[in-house]
Chains A and B, each alone.
Chain A
Amino acid sequence: MTPLTIADKIFHSRLFTGTGKFSSGQQMEEALLASGSGLVTIALKRVDVQNEQDDILSHLAHPQFNLLPNTSGVRNAKEAVFAAQLAREALETNWLKLEIHPDPKYLLPDPIETLKAAEELVKLGFVVLPYIHADPVLCKRLEEVGVAAVMPLGSPIGSNNGLQTRAFLEIIIQQSTVPVVVDAGIGAPSHAAEAMELGADAVLVNTAIAVSQQPVQMAKAFKMAVEAGRMAYEAKLAPVGITAHASSPLTAFLDEL
C-alpha cells in the first residue's frame, strides 16, 4: 500500500479517526491504537487545553497520533477563523479540519462560509482540510484557494448510511488534484472498503467505531477494510459490464476503398 502524503506529512494508514462518542477516554485510546490511525480529529470545543489531565488529550499522547483539531460548533467563517487560531495556539498544530455547520439538526456543512474561511485560513498559514458536501465544483474552488485535502461526506454525519453520494464522489476523485478523504456517513467496514476501491485517498471514521458494541474490534475491522480497499484499488479491479456491439458494422467503410 503506497503511503499518503498530505501537505508535508506522510501517513502509512489511510484510516483517519475521530474522538467523539466513546464511552470513556480509556476505551477511545484502545480503539484508536487498534485502528492504526495516524490522524485523529478532535473537537476543540470538547477539550480543556489548559488541563494536562484532560480526559481526551491525555489519552492521545502517543507519538503516532497527529492531532487534527476541528472547528465543530462554529456557524460562520468568522467564528471558524477565531476557533482555528485558538486551536493552533492551544494544540500547537497548524493543521485544521474546517467544519462549519449552522444547521444543528443534520449538521450539514455551509459551502459558502467554508470557502470564505478556507481562503482566509490558508493565507494565515493553516493546513486546511475542509469538511464539505460531496460537491465537485466546491472541491475545485477549495483547491484553488489552497486547501491541503478535501473531505466530502458520504452521507449525513452520524447516519452510518454509507456512500449515498457515490456518483459525486467519483467525479471528485477523478478530477481532484489534492487528496480526497471521505468523511461522514461511513457506518460499516464495507463502506470504507468501497470508498477506498473507488480511489478515495483516505476515509475518516468516528461514530461507527465509537458506538459499536466492541470499539476495539470494530477499529481493527476498519483498519483491515481500508487496507483491503486500497490494495484492491492499487491492484486495479477487474472490469464489470459488457462491451457494446453495434447492430451494423461501423468500420466496414475502411475496407471499401
Chain B
Amino acid sequence: MSFIKIFNQLNWDEIKESIYAKTASDVERALMHPVRSLEDFKALISPAAAPYLEQMAALSQRLTQKRFGKTIQLYLPLYLSNECQNICTYCGFSLDNPTPRTTLTPEQILKEVEVIKSYGYDHVLLVTGEANKTVGVDYFKEVLQLIRPYFSHISMEVQPLDRQEYEQLIPLGLNTVLVYQETYHQEDYKKHHPKGKKSNFAYRLETPDRLGKAGVHKIGLGVLIGLEDWRTDSFFTALHLQYLERTYWQTKYSISFPRLRPFSGGLAPKVDMSDRELVQLICAYRIFNEEVELSLSTRESQHFRNNVVRLGITSISAGSKTDPGGYASGQQALEQFEISDERRPTEIVQMIRNQGYDAIWKDWDNVLG
C-alpha cells in the first residue's frame, strides 16, 4: 500500500482532536512503554506532556546516546540557484518576489566548494528552488560530477523528481534527499502553494515513495512549522516515517524542524511554536523512534542550539549562507530566509566540544556508493 492510500483514510480534524484529548496518564504510559506506538507519540506531542518536559528530555538524551553516542554531525547547505517557478507564501525565492535571480556556473560552484572545504566540511547539502528548465536533472548531473571529488556525502534539497531521475543521480554520488511536505493539511497546502508544480500535493506526498523505490540511502522528512497546527502536522510526519521505515527498510531517515523565519517578502507564521514546544517535539521524535536522525538548522538561536545538542539532535549545520554564491562573495542579498545562529563553524565545533560531544565531519565514503 502506498502512503497516499493510508493518508487518504485519515481525517485531519479527528487526528487533531485526538492529540488534544490526550491526558497525563497517556503521557506517563508513553514514557514507560519499551516501544512507542503512534498513539504514544500523540501523547508526547500533546499539551498534556508539557509538565513532563524534563523527563522527556532525560529519556531522549539517554536513547540518543545509546544509539548515536556523544556525536553531532556537521553539514552545510550549498545554494546553487534561487530561480523558482513556484509561488510559496513563505519563501524568499517565490516567483512573485522581485529578487534578482541567479544560478551558479561550474566556476562559481567550485569557488563555493573551496570556501566550504576550507571550513572542514565533508558533507554538503545542495539546495535550489524549482526551475526545471534551467535547474533540472541535467544540471544536477553536472553538479554532482563536478563536486563529487570534494565531498564524501552529498545531500539534495531540490524540487521533487521522478523515480528514474533519482535513479540517474544516485550512481553519480547522491546519498540523501530531503523533501519536506511543508504541511500535511491538504487544503492549506493549496493555499500556501497557489502556483507552480509544487501546488500538486499528491506528487509531493509520494516523493519519499519514489525515493525509496529508487534506492536512495537516506530520506529526510519534515514540515514547515508555522503553517498549520504543528502537533497534527508532526503526527503525520511520524506516520509517514513509520510507513517508510517498514516499506523501504534499507533506507535511513532524518527529520528536520524548520520554524518559519523572516525573509524578504514576509508571511507571518499562522501558528507560533515556542522554544519549549520545539524541545518537546524533538524529544517526542526521539522517544518514538530511536534510530531516526534529527537535524537542526541555523534558523535557531545560539542559546537554543547550544542546549539542544544534548537533547536528541544528531546533526546540525553551521556557518550557513542561504543565498547562491554567498560563501565566496560574502554578500547576503538573495537569501531564502534569515539565519539566526551566525557563528563560524570553528565556533560551533568548540561549542559541541564544550557540551562534551564530538563533532563529526565525515560519516560516509565514496567507495560505499
Q: Which residues of A are in contact with B by a Cβ distance under 8 Å?
A: 140, 170, 174-177, 236, 238-246, 249-251, 253-254, 256-257
The answer to whether the Cβ of B279 comes within 8 Å of any Cβ in the partner chain is yes
Which chain A residue lies CB-closest to B247?
A177
Chain B contacts for A253, CB-based, 8 A: 303-304, 306-307
The answer to whether the Cβ of B255 comes within 8 Å of any Cβ in the partner chain is no
Chain B contacts for A246, CB-based, 8 A: 54, 57-58, 61
| Contact between B311 and A250, CB atoms less than 8 A apart | yes
| Contact between B310 and A257, CB atoms less than 8 A apart | no
Q: A174-B35, A239-B32, A241-B34 are in contact. Are A249 and B59 (CB under 8 A)?
A: no
Which chain A residue lies CB-closest to B275?
A254
Interface contact tally, CB-CB below 8 A: 61
Which chain A residue lies CB-closest to B304?
A253
Specify which of B29, B55, B249 is in contact with A239 (CB 8 Å cutoff): B29
The answer to whether the Cβ of B246 comes within 8 Å of any Cβ in the partner chain is yes
Chain B contacts for A140, CB-based, 8 A: 249
Chain A contacts for B31, CB-based, 8 A: 239, 243
Chain B contacts for A238, CB-based, 8 A: 29
Task: Using C-beta atoms within 8 Å of the partner chain, give the interface range for chain B.
Answer: 20 to 34
Q: From residue A200, how far is it (CB to closest CB) to chain B in Å?
A: 14
* Additional A-B contacts beyond A243-B31, A256-B303 (17; CB < 8 A): A175-B249, A177-B246, A236-B29, A239-B29, A239-B32, A241-B32, A243-B55, A245-B55, A246-B54, A250-B54, A250-B57, A250-B310, A251-B53, A251-B279, A253-B303, A254-B275, A257-B303
Chain B contacts for A241, CB-based, 8 A: 32, 34
Task: Scan residues 57-97 of chain B and give those whose CB is less than 8 A from a CB of chain A.
Answer: 57-59, 61-62
The answer to whether the Cβ of B133 comes within 8 Å of any Cβ in the partner chain is no
| Contact between A243 and B29, CB atoms less than 8 A apart | no
- 19 A–B pairs (Cβ distance < 8 Å), ordered by A: A140-B249, A170-B35, A239-B29, A240-B34, A241-B32, A241-B34, A242-B32, A243-B58, A244-B55, A244-B59, A245-B58, A246-B54, A246-B58, A249-B54, A250-B58, A251-B54, A251-B279, A253-B307, A254-B275
Q: Within the assembled complex, what's the spacing in Å between the Cα atoms of A123 and B191?
A: 46
Q: Within the assembled complex, what's the spacing in Å between the Cα atoms of A249 and B61?
A: 12
Chain A contacts for B311, CB-based, 8 A: 250-251
Which of A245, A246, A256 has the largest number of chain B CB atoms within 10 A? Answer: A246
Please provide the 4 A-B residue pairs with the shortest distance between their CB atoms, ordered closest to farther.
Answer: A239-B32, A246-B58, A250-B57, A253-B307
Which chain B residue lies CB-closest to A241?
B32
The answer to whether the Cβ of B5 comes within 8 Å of any Cβ in the partner chain is no
The answer to whether the Cβ of B245 comes within 8 Å of any Cβ in the partner chain is yes
Chain B contacts for A256, CB-based, 8 A: 303
Specify which of A170, A175, A244 is in contact with B62 (CB 8 Å cutoff): A244
Which chain A residue lies CB-closest to B277?
A254
Which chain A residue lies CB-closest to B307?
A253
Q: From residue B344, how far is it (CB to closest CB) to chain A in Å?
A: 22
Chain A contacts for B32, CB-based, 8 A: 239-243
Q: From residue A241, how far is it (CB to closest CB) to chain B in Å?
A: 6
Q: From residue A8, how far is it (CB to closest CB) to chain B in Å?
A: 16
Q: Within the assembled complex, what's the spacing in Å between the Cα atoms of A246 and B31?
A: 14
